[in-house]
Structure 1
């Protein structure tokens, strides 16, 4: 039985290529991303500091980042499969609900002093935060081909407000937590509980029609490119596009997470206050998302390959500035982290565009989830190795190594200029009826 969306039938939008529901879908996604962005900041700014405080070891400070990024790998698969089976709305809402639950677990762990509960909760939190990035794909489901880059970048940009405000509330949420008898560093996770719960409710109640289900109806009404009947059972995956986009995403995520994770620890070791580290991370997170509309426009105008190639030199500059900046200069470290965010944005948006263009609606959600598994594993690796690298060779070594590794994006992205290969993949398993009028 064919799944139905909230509307009786999709309209004919072949003339423009843009579904009339796209504006509503983007509006709901933007609201949810603003809320969830505030929750995302908790793990970035205080996860490593909380673990360092509870464990008393800098060498293990990268473990929280590794845990919630490893959790994000599992979450990407789970949320991707939920979206594939039931649609974007239930899948994304469940994902944000999991992030709220994990955040609550971190707060409880800090109160009772349980390292095991802390690590478990960070993994659950990470699984839920995978939804922050998976939501960008929903923004492109109904977009016209010439506007896909701008559509997915709009969803990423929406994370900016919450993600920038969150780190700057470290002291405020810490004071609230202290007043309630909770360790100060757990304060941002209190904010995450509220933020992710609200995001789940917004998506669950208002993301109608479901963009992925509508996109499938749209694809079923169109003939196959080779002249086959409409709604054919075979979807065409452009293998080279998926592989190149995935590789770019993995590389920029690995470098960004490694350097970002250890920057607050590096600053604290040189006498900077937590609020100073919060400011640097806030600028970094802003640089990760604020350029998104411009990056999306560049992708639509010049193509994902050229934008991906540009990310390599920017990340190299970020690593070198971080490596050789005075550890006592907040301004210099802020410049390094801003460059790190911009380089990540160039690679992440362009890589996502390459992946999205290469996948048909029938297989889209589950395969996109697998792509983000690669990003999560890369992030987990960056977080896990960053602590030992700093302990062994210092923050300077980490910055140089990360910047040099980022240059691998250039030859990887250039491979996409060759003639793409395609592969036939079976259509997705028939979905159960999910949304009725």
Structure 2
């Protein structure tokens, strides 16, 4: 009987992974438009650096604001409802950006970018969904595999301006409006795939054997999570790694398109640069997951810190040399990947099972909030100083997590 149950669980996990992997590819195509095209659209529509800076952070802020509600929704209704709802909200946001781009409308611009951030939130939560039914020996690899397949969609997303030009010639839409129309279709399809195919629900299935106890209310879950962060070194260390990597990555990545354009770069060069960065974010995620399962959590964190340090030093030393900026952005993505995979896996195993979905939504919300704050601060810093100075400041942000890891080790 136990063998049949184990075999059924493996089949559920296999089916869950296939659905998550396909959906992650489709959905991240839509989400990937925000970091490059959304940033350039914000600058074009607002024609004001302060407002443009706020608009650039809107999608990250949206991911932060929606992370906790979507996590709580997963805790109550399961992954299927939460993930499909998040992708659908992102599709609505992308659809709003079509008229915003076509007619240069500021308010719809902010609203659309805010809502498309929901896609980022569920893209992050999908990696945790991959661990719900995974065996303890394969949690790191399952998580990292979902992160890894995001490479395909996230590399294509920043380049939606290319098919956008083709769509624009047939519809009369601008390149930005056409690109976000394509993004809306991708996000809508991701929502439909999750809602129809993610059965049985991985979180509810994993909880089936232990669900006799009543699930905590949302406010109680938040109190218990806060208490856990105060008492659990593992939770704190996992969260610190996630937040640090996210803040550094978002700050530098958000300002790079502006830096490239100021040096005469085209929208195509911006798209290629961000695509290479995103390739770095996801390409070696399975290696990070394997390191977590094989060597524990600290080794890949140290690797991530070393790679981030190299990235920021290259950006600081060669800020005006475009090949160096591309190399720096690739390393930035790689460093984020190792830190994020290791930190996420550590945090997931350190939280009580009944609180896991809400806690994961909470940590993703905090990560996106830290990214939004970092991006908003990075704009004025770039305006009053330089890209090199921004890289050096980001380097200083690495110090606390490095000290924490050394002490813990």
1: CA distance, partners of 2:142 / 2:135: 9
Query: Considering only CA atoms, is the larger Rg found in Structure 1 or Structure 2?
Result: 1
TM-score, normalized by length of structure 1? 0.85
1:79 and 2:70 aligned: yes
The match for 2:103 is 112
Cα distance in 1 for partners of 2:252, 2:177 equals 23
Q: Within 5 A, what are the aligned runs for 1:66-215?
A: 66-177=57-168, 179-215=170-206
Q: Gaps spanning 5+ residues in structure 2: where?
A: 213-223
Query: Quick one: which of 376, 385, 390 aligns to 1:384?
Result: 376
Q: Tell me, in whole angstroms, the C-alpha distance in 1 between the residues paired with 2:149 and 2:173.
A: 31
Q: Displacement, 1:220?
A: 5.3
Secondary structure at the residue paired with 1:140?
A: coil
Q: Say whether the 8 Å CA contact 2:33–2:160 is kept in structure 1.
A: no
Cα distance change on mapping 1:124 and 1:97 into 2, 3 Å: same
Tell me, which stretches of 5 or more residues in structure 1 are unaligned?
1-8, 222-233, 418-437
Judging changes above 3 Å, is the alpha-carbon distance between structure 1 residues 322 and 217 closer, same or farther for their aligned structure 2 residues? Answer: same
Q: CA contact under 8 A between 2:33 and 2:158: conserved in structure 1? A: yes
How far, CA to CA, are the matches of 1:395 and 1:330 in structure 2? 12
Deviation by residue 1:80-126 (Cα, 9 ceiling, x = unmatched): 11100000011100000000000011112122321011111111111
Q: Deviations over 1:24-45 (max 9, x none)?
A: 1101100000101111211011
Give the Å deviation of 1:316: 1.6
1:323, distance to aligned residue in structure 2 (A): 2.2
Q: Is structure 2 residue 402 aligned with structure 1 residue 410? A: yes
* C-alpha distance in 2 between matches for 1:192 and 1:102: 10
What TM-score do the two structures reach when normalised by structure 2?
A: 0.91
Q: Which moved more, 1:59-68 or 1:350-359?
A: 59-68
Inter-partner Cα distance in structure 2 for 1:10 and 1:142 = 16
Per the alignment, in what secondary structure is the counterpart of residue 362 of structure 1? helix
Contact 1:242 1:354 (C-alpha < 8 Å) held by counterparts: yes
Deviations 1:186-236 (A, max 9, x none): 333122101111111111111111110111124459xxxxxxxxxxxx999
For 1:372, the equivalent position in structure 2 comes to 364
2:391 aligned partner? 399
> 1:325 & 1:49 partners in 2: Cα distance?
23
CA RMSD in angstroms, aligned pairs only: 2.4
Distance 2:153 2:404 in 1: 33
Alignment check: 8 A CA contact 1:316 1:402 kept = no
Between the aligned partners of 2:211 and 2:260, the Cα distance in structure 1 is 54
The more displaced of 235-244 and 136-145 is: 235-244
The structure 2 residue matched to 1:25, chosen from 4, 10, 16, is 16
2:31–2:117 CA contact under 8 A, matched in 1: no
Preserved CA contact (<8 Å) 1:241 1:416: no
Match of 1:314 in 2: 307
Q: 1:283 aligns with which of 276, 284, 292?
A: 276
The verdict on how the C-alpha distance between 1:185 and 1:256 changes in structure 2, with shifts beyond 3 A counting, is same
2:32 aligned counterpart, secondary structure: helix
How far is 1:343 from its partner? 0.4
Higher share in helix: 2
